[in-house]
């Protein structure tokens, strides 16, 4: 029992120390000053471009594998179609808030998802024609 009380006191002490330390870190926050690497971009835009890379290119493996197989086996175009529609809304939102990363990545994502739906349509028609 004595060990548990000491652990709780240690944990509370560490938490208090952490809170005190973090309360003095206001200057470490991200401020939208010009970037040192690209003077025309804000730091938040650079992070936006980096963050958008993964989510935008997430649909690319499905498209590539479908093109390599030349088949729709295991593919469902609904997700790509739904994403493409809502990414058009993200583009509009990016225009409203004037965010270059939101606009750029979602344009690329619309193209990738539209190509996926188009490839699925092409290969499914071809598969139906061959099976008749």
Q: What is the pLDDT of residue 125?
A: 92
Q: What angle do CA 117, 82, 90 make, to 5 degrees?
A: 115
Q: What is the pLDDT of residue 53?
A: 83
Burial class from Cβ neighbours inside 10 Å (0-12, 13-18, 19+) for residue 81 reads middle
Domain boundaries 31-131, corresponding CATH code: 1.20.1280.290
Nearest Cα to 111, choosing from 59, 76, 67, 72? 59
**Domain ranges in the chain?**
1-30, 31-131
pTM: 0.62
Digit-coded pLDDT (tens) for 5-61: 555 667 777 777 677 666 665 555 555 555 555 667 677 777 778 888 887 888 888
């Amino acid at each position: 029992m004595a060990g548990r009380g000491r652990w709780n006191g240690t944990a509370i002490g560490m938490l208090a120390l952490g809170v005190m330390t973090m309360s003095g870190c206001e200057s470490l926050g991200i401020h939208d000053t010009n970037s040192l690497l690209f003077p025309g971009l804000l730091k938040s835009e650079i992070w936006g471009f980096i963050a958008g890379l993964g989510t935008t290119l997430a649909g690319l493996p499905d498209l590539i594998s479908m093109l390599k197989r030349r088949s729709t086996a295991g593919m469902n175009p609904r997700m790509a179609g739904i994403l493409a529609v809502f990414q058009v809304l993200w583009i509009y939102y990016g225009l409203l808030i004037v965010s270059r990363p939101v606009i750029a990545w979602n344009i690329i994502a619309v193209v990738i998802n539209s190509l996926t739906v188009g490839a699925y349509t092409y290969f499914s028609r071809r598969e139906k024609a061959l099976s008749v």
